[in-house]
Structure 1
Amino acid sequence: MMQRHMPIGYKLVDGKIQLDEPKAAVVKKIFADYLSGASTSSLAKRLTEMGFPNANNKASWNHGSIGKILENVKCLGDEFYPQMIGTELFEQVQKRRQERCEQLGRSIQPNSANRQYSFTGKLRCGECGEVYRKYIEHCGRASEKSFWKCKRYIYRNRVCCRCGFLADEQIEKAFIEVANRILARLQILDRTPKKEPIPNSLVYNKLDQRIRELEAEGRYSSKELPALIFERAQAFYKTARIDDTDHNTGKMKQAFSGRQLIVEFNEELFLTVIKQITVYADHQLVFEFINGLTMEAGY
């Protein structure tokens, strides 16, 4: 995960992200208090006064840092992060934030990278590997249209990627199709995805060999040994993968259990079971589920 900070309310334990219960309780209270009418500024003041550490481990908060917590979709849970905030509460908070922006005469830029939609961060171009972003044309007019386009469609005023544009309705229809395939035959979820082998790390092997040499020589008090052990752990972590296939398959079975075939797009189901969608120029979408299962659908 290429990110600078672990989101507040989470911690890494034995290579797996878990809820940091004391901090998660504070995050949950931030959501609840904001929905109850507290402003982001008052919440920031309260956290600063209580000495609660921010993402930089400093007891210094402002309305912007509170806003980042309130808009962080990771708290809804995904393939790495356990759910901290319920979907209904999260959506209610987003609605109040939008209302507050309108009351204060502010606006959320429709094409901002920070604007979150159901498919934000889920779509990737199968031709060039870039992410898809939502672009709104003629915003606020009767002719307003929105499409998902590859980030590299236009680069330095040139068309660099010709992978297809998608409307929300096309993605939703394709998801309904693959979801109904699963609902019609839940045994599909028991398919075991092919596991990729852990790449052989030359750096790890070199460090491990040197550590073995020092230990064989009985040089346990060497100042070099602790540093090498730490570097070896870092090298291992870079290549290690969390095998949570069974856990995520169980999560999917629970999400699909008891449902009839769906006729409308279900955002909660989508966010629960889909890891990524790859878009190809031949009008094909490849849905990758959180347990590694993949299914194709046209658009």
Structure 2
Amino acid sequence: MKQRYIPFGYRLSGGSIITHDTEADLLRMIFNRYLAGESYSQIAAELEASGVPYREGTSRWNKNIVGRILQNRKYTGNDNYPSLIAEDDFIQSALLQQEKYTRKDIRTAPEITALKKKAVCGECGATYERIPDSRFGERWKCKNTECRPMVKITDAHLSAQVVSLLNRMIQNPRELDSLQIVKELHNLEITRLTNEINRELDKPDCNEGLARTLIMARAAIQYEHCPDALLPEKTRRIKETLENHASITELDPELILQTVDAVIIQPDSTVFLKLINGMIIQNTEERSNPPCKQQNA
């Protein structure tokens, strides 16, 4: 399925972003219906009935897509996009959404939904879940009860790290060129094996045979996940999205959808982003594996 890399309501023409007339009419309908009192789900049903797809290849719409559209300030003419929505309408829509997102139902906010779909544990590969807590606020933790250490992080901590990593890419989209060379492609099993290798190599009595077996297992999986012919196109889409995007101060669900495959939460609470082309973006320095210590005879 083709991902959108420019917002609904716009299209590219001669290298410039211009209005997509059919989508722009539906976009204005979305804002008008919402301000008139309709819910995300009601609007999504109307959009699906229209037959106009949100992205190429499918006519499927849902309430999360509608929510992302209503929160996208580009439609007021920001970031060099043509203005499709009056500033007053956008503000009124934002105020209405704010009223509806009480603490009880904030879990349905588009940015929270985006994270819930992407957050995984860097230690075991299981999904991270969001746990409401009336005393201390929400917490995120690995759903695998056997995972150790059991890392718990807050909305603020998780969001801040994701925003920081996204801004790093926005400010330096050309960095993706070098990352494509020096970064290896990961999946969750590769991450798990890497963690096991690091733990074994750190032991004073490192088992060289086990470490070698783990390294060979990781290499086999890496070979299976070698870059395919679509990766250059995916990288191009990411770079084009970033080059047309201003730095963010809060989570942008649309940007996450367009660029991020997984939000990987490490045992030390640091966060990595796995992009849709398989590249890993991280703020910490990459770890170099020391050789196994030689054991005395």
**Range into which the TM-score falls when normalised by the shorter chain:** 0.3 to 0.5
- More helix, by proportion: 2
Please report the TM-score for the alignment, with normalisation by the length of structure 1.
0.46
Please report the TM-score for the alignment, with normalisation by the length of structure 2.
0.46
Q: Which has the higher contact order (CA 8 A, sep 6+)?
A: 2
